[in-house]
Amino acid sequence: MENNKYVKRILVIILLTNIPAALSLPLFFREALGWILGSTASAINFFWLAHNVKMSLDLQPTKSKLNAVKGTYLRLLFLLIYSVLILNFIKPNIISFGLSLLVAQMVIYLNEFVKNLKRSRLFRG
């Protein structure tokens, strides 16, 4: 259950980053569109990874390794095809799109930083 809460928290934070992007659509259309499309792909990728890990927990080691390899290649293939289609047909800003593909990793680091900061003696006052 703890893992499900963590995954939901990360996904909510990722989706919350789309609020400023959606609000800035009229001013910075291509940049905001790139962020929204990339962060959505990042959230899907993170959720898919969490699902694959959850399904592999009860398996034998050899089957778990096989599932991990297949899952990794399928996720990367999805990201590659998604990115090529988005960049060819919708043509958002490539920099904001590329940065937003990393939003799941940024949110994980930020979440851990805040959690450790809350536990530190400096934060308690």
Taking residues 96-122, report their average pLDDT: 93
Contact 78, 101 (CB under 8 A): no
Instruction: Tell me the pLDDT tens digit for each residue of 59-106.
Output: 888 888 888 899 999 999 999 999 999 999 999 999 999 999 999 999
**Contact assessment for residue 41 and residue 101, using Cβ atoms and an 8 Å cutoff:** yes
User: ∠119-123-125 over CA atoms, to 5°?
Assistant: 125
pLDDT for 9 equals 96
C-alpha angle 113-117-119 in degrees, rounded to nearest 5: 120
Question: Cα 100 to the chain's mean position, in Å?
Answer: 8
Q: Where are the beta strands (DSSP E) in the chain?
A: none
| pLDDT tens figures, 51-61 | 998 988 888 88
Q: What's the pLDDT at 57?
A: 83
Cα radius of gyration rounded to whole Å, the chain:
17
pTM: 0.90
* Amino acid at site 53: V
Q: Name the nearest CA neighbour of 36 among 20, 23, 18, 19.
A: 18
Which band of pLDDT confidence, cut at 50, 70 and 90, is reported for residue 125?
Answer: low
